[in-house]
């Protein structure tokens, strides 16, 4: 069974482990460039938002481009930092800082902030063709937006997303970040998400270029207003309207730090149980599946003998080999692959902790808001 699982993952799961879906090529286009507005939801993001705003205002994009920061009732001067970054570049006229309104029932904080930004973008005399939905900790290379728009126009894409390259400096980040990307691609193989014939849909919330008219026709942000895993929910919504794309990139980076294991745990715990639809049965199945996939090979390699031991050792080496392309993308030694079983065990513990936090009423905790119950209540009402 252990061998069959990994043969399937390596040979028949969309080649996810090869990490070949990239935006490395230079994409150009002729003709007029469509208007774009970036929408940045920001709650207590003074440490990061200045760099994000500056990187966007430095884009060498040939078309009309503006930035909206929705200050989601921050307490740390987020709005002032964003305004100062624009003023330092002499680009204050291209930045709007919108004070966020109080969070209404049934919405998660991020999606409500995005909704306000989307409304503001659509309210001008000539609304943009595209919305760049991005986070307050994302920094862009100067040619990133041009590449995104060119790729979207060439492929007729309704959603073009790039998986921002996460920070990978501390021990905790080196141990857990590549595995996080590996697991994400395993759940949502990028080749399958990019195939219009398949139902798999995925996006990375840090960088999503969306056709504004298609988003409106699909029901807007209100259609996913209670989603904790909002990026994949948006991808699923929009793939019904047209083709989408997701890829790894070197052009877009996250500067948010996860210096310790506890920071990684909180990041994972925020949404893991929501991914399982708050189901104890799915949680038990996930724990069993993780143990069988990642821990059983080690147990066989150490404790068994004969053919069982050989299979356990072979599978352990196979999973280390499968992680190598992602480790190479993050410029890390392939030896980290041998630690994948231990890393997976930690992620299993983080998933259990996510369920525990939900039981305590602290599910989906982010910047002082516990938001998991929003999704749960909505799901219950939909079932009714």
Residue-wise pLDDT for 172-195, tens only, equals 999 999 999 999 999 999 999 999
Tell me the fold of 16-262: Spore Coat Polysaccharide Biosynthesis Protein SpsA; Chain A (3.90.550)
Whether residue 71 contacts residue 98, with contact meaning beta carbons closer than 8 Å, is answered with yes
Predicted local distance difference test score (pLDDT) of residue 269: 87
Q: Which of 186, 200, 165, 361 is nearest to 273 (CA)?
A: 361
101: helix, coil or strand?
Answer: coil
pLDDT higher than 60, residue 369: no
CA–CA separation, 323 and 349 (whole Å): 20
Place 368 in a pLDDT band, splitting at 50, 70 and 90: low
The pTM score is 0.91
Residue 68 sits at φ, ψ, to 5 deg, of: -120, 125
Predicted local distance difference test score (pLDDT) of residue 364: 56
Q: ∠ CA(312), CA(289), CA(236), 5° rounding? A: 130
Span 49-63, mean pLDDT?
A: 97
Mean pLDDT (the chain, rounded)? 93
pLDDT higher than 80, residue 25: no
Predicted local distance difference test score (pLDDT) of residue 371: 57
Predicted local distance difference test score (pLDDT) of residue 126: 95
CA–CA separation, 320 and 327 (whole Å): 10
Predicted local distance difference test score (pLDDT) of residue 377: 44
Place 41 in a pLDDT band, splitting at 50, 70 and 90: very high
In this structure, how many other beta carbons lie within 10 angstroms of the beta carbon of residue 137?
Answer: 22
Q: Which of 231, 265, 248 is nearest to 326 (CA)?
A: 248
Predicted local distance difference test score (pLDDT) of residue 373: 54
Predicted local distance difference test score (pLDDT) of residue 31: 86
pLDDT in tens, 348-364: 999 999 999 888 876 65
Sorted by where each begins, the domain ranges of the chain are 2-14+264-379, 16-262
Span 74-94, mean pLDDT?
A: 96
pLDDT higher than 90, residue 365: no
pLDDT higher than 80, residue 201: yes
Residues of the chain with pLDDT > 90: what percent?
Answer: 86
Whether residue 375 contacts residue 366, with contact meaning beta carbons closer than 8 Å, is answered with no
Place 380 in a pLDDT band, splitting at 50, 70 and 90: very low
Give the Å distances, CA to CA, from 337 to 29, 238, 251, 292.
Answer: 40, 35, 25, 17
pLDDT in tens, 280-299: 999 999 999 999 999 999 99
pLDDT in tens, 5-21: 999 999 999 999 999 99
The DSSP H or E segment spanning 317 is: helix 306-329
Place 366 in a pLDDT band, splitting at 50, 70 and 90: low
CA–CA separation, 299 and 297 (whole Å): 5
pLDDT higher than 60, residue 370: no
pLDDT higher than 60, residue 112: yes
155: helix, coil or strand?
Answer: helix
Span 86-96, mean pLDDT?
A: 97
pLDDT higher than 70, residue 200: yes
The tokens describing 234, both together, are 């948006």
């Amino acid at each position: 069974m252990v061998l069959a699982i990994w043969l399937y993952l390596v040979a028949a799961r969309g080649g996810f482990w090869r990490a070949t879906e990239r935006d490395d090529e230079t994409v150009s286009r002729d003709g007029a460039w469509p208007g774009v507005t970036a929408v940045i939801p920001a709650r207590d993001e003074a440490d990061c938002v200045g760099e994000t705003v500056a990187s966007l205002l430095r884009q060498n994009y040939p078309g009309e481009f503006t930035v909206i920061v929705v200050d989601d009732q921050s307490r740390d001067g987020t709005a002032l930092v964003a305004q100062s970054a624009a003023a330092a570049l002499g680009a204050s006229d291209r930045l709007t800082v919108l004070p966020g309104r109080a969070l209404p029932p049934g919405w998660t904080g991020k999606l409500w902030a995005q909704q306000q930004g989307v409304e503001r973008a659509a309210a001008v005399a000539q609304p943009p063709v595209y919305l760049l939905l991005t986070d307050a900790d994302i920094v862009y290379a100067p040619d990133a937006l041009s590449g995104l728009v060119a790729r979207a126009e060439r492929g007729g894409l309704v959603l073009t997303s790039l998986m921002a390259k996460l920070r990978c400096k501390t021990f905790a980040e080196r141990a857990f970040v590549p595995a996080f990307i590996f697991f994400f691609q395993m759940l949502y193989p990028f080749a399958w998400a990019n195939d219009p014939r398949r139902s798999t849909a995925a996006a990375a919330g840090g960088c999503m270029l969306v056709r504004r008219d298609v988003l409106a026709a699909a029901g807007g942000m209100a259609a996913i207003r209670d989603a904790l895993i909002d990026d994949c929910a948006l991808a699923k919504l929009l793939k019904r309207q047209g083709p989408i794309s997701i890829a790894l990139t070197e052009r877009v980076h996250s500067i948010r730090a996860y210096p310790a294991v506890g920071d990684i745990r909180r990041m994972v715990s925020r949404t893991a149980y929501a991914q399982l639809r708050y189901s104890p049965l799915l949680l038990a199945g996930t724990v069993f599946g993780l143990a069988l996939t990642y821990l059983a090979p080690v147990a066989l390699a150490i404790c068994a003998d004969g053919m069982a031991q050989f299979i356990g050792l072979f599978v352990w080496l196979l999973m280390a080999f499968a992680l190598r392309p992602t480790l190479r993308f993050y410029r890390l030694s392939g030896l980290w692959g041998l630690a994948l079983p231990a890393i997976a065990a930690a992620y299993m513990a983080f998933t259990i902790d996510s369920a525990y936090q939900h039981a305590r009423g602290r599910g989906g905790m982010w910047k002082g808001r516990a938001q998991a119950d929003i999704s749960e209540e909505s799901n219950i009402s939909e079932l009714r």
